[in-house]
């Protein structure tokens, strides 16, 4: 469909599109839009009245009524494929439906194991910080805060937020990001102390094994990945990340884990 959003007779910025594929039931647009699409036929045109919610992210539209001029070009219907070997062969690495089922099962198990591992690591690091009182250098905290703020701004921009809307959201996150920066720096300092105390190291073999995992996930080779890190001057960062992982694994091995 083609559509054009209007407010008081004026086109709404970013509220128009051509050849847009809309899925009924997704409720992607403002309330009232999808209801207006119901029963429309191909090549039909219609004006749909909508009311923007009071908490709409664009304050200029919040609580106001608007209209969408819609022109439906074509109506499609989803068709589920047959679950057979022919379908499975469309998936890379699968030759049969049974292989596809096994792959999906293994992927789900791996995903859940990773979730549990990350959750355990977070709890271990939280305990580490709570049981070791220290005051991190303000310069390090400020640097980490700037990094987190820049990363948040980049992600929000990719989501389409800009201008005052973007600044308002970043302001809401300010205290949370400050606390996160404090926590992150404390973790780094405590991990460094642990590495020194326990004399933890990453051998060349362990470094290659870690880079091999990165290579597999990127469909590359160990030699290419290693050359890339050397070229960018970030091989030491990769080694430090592996050392952090080793330190966290050490903490987990010494922890008394109580299932809830």
| Among the ranges given (82-86, 100-104, 216-220), the one the predictor scored with the smallest mean pLDDT | 216-220
What pLDDT is attached to residue 258? 78
Dihedral sign of CA atoms 140, 148, 111, 213 in order: negative
Ramachandran angles phi, psi of 14, nearest 5°: 75, 10
Cα 77 to Cα 39, 80, 87, 185: the distances in Å are: 14, 10, 19, 52
* Strand blocks (E) in the chain: 2-7, 10-17, 45-51, 65-71
Regarding pTM above 0.75, the answer is no
Q: Give strand pairing partners of 71.
A: 2, 45
Nearest residue to 198 via CA among 250, 244, 239, 253: 250
Instruction: State yes or no: pLDDT of 259 exceeds 80.
Output: no
pLDDT, tens digit, 9 for 90 and up, residues 101-119: 999 999 999 999 999 999 9
d(CA 99, CA 112) in angstroms, rounded, equals 20
Considering only the top CATH level, what class is 2-71? alpha beta
pLDDT, tens digit, 9 for 90 and up, residues 146-190: 999 999 999 998 887 788 888 888 999 999 999 999 999 999 999
Instruction: State yes or no: pLDDT of 260 exceeds 70.
Output: no
Domain coordinates of the chain in residue numbers?
2-71, 80-117, 200-260
């Amino acid at each position: 469909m083609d559509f054009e959003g209007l407010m008081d007779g004026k086109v709404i910025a970013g509220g128009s599109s051509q050849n847009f594929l809309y899925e009924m039931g997704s409720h992607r647009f403002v309330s009232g839009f999808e209801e207006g699409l119901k029963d429309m036929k191909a090549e039909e045109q219609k004006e749909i009245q909508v009311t923007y919610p009071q908490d709409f992210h664009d304050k200029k539209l919040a609580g106001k009524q608007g209209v969408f001029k819609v022109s439906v070009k074509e109506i499609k219907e989803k068709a589920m494929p047959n679950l057979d070997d022919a379908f499975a062969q469309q998936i890379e690495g699968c030759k049969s439906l049974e292989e596809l089922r096994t792959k999906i099962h293994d992927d789900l198990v791996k995903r859940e194991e990773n979730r549990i591992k990350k959750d355990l690591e977070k709890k271990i690091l939280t305990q580490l910080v709570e049981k070791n009182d220290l005051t991190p250098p303000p310069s390090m905290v400020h640097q980490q805060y700037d990094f987190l703020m820049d990363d948040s701004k980049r992600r929000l921009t990719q989501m389409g937020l800009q201008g005052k809307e973007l600044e308002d959201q970043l302001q809401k996150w300010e205290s949370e990001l400050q606390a996160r920066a404090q926590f992150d720096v404390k973790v780094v300092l405590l991990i460094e102390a642990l590495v020194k105390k326990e004399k933890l190291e990453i051998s060349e073999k362990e470094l290659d094994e870690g880079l091999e995992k990165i290579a597999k996930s990127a469909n590359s080779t160990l030699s290419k990945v290693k050359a890339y890190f050397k070229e960018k001057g970030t091989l030491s960062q990769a080694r430090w990340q592996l050392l952090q992982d080793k330190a966290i694994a050490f903490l987990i091995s010494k922890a008394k884990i109580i299932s809830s």
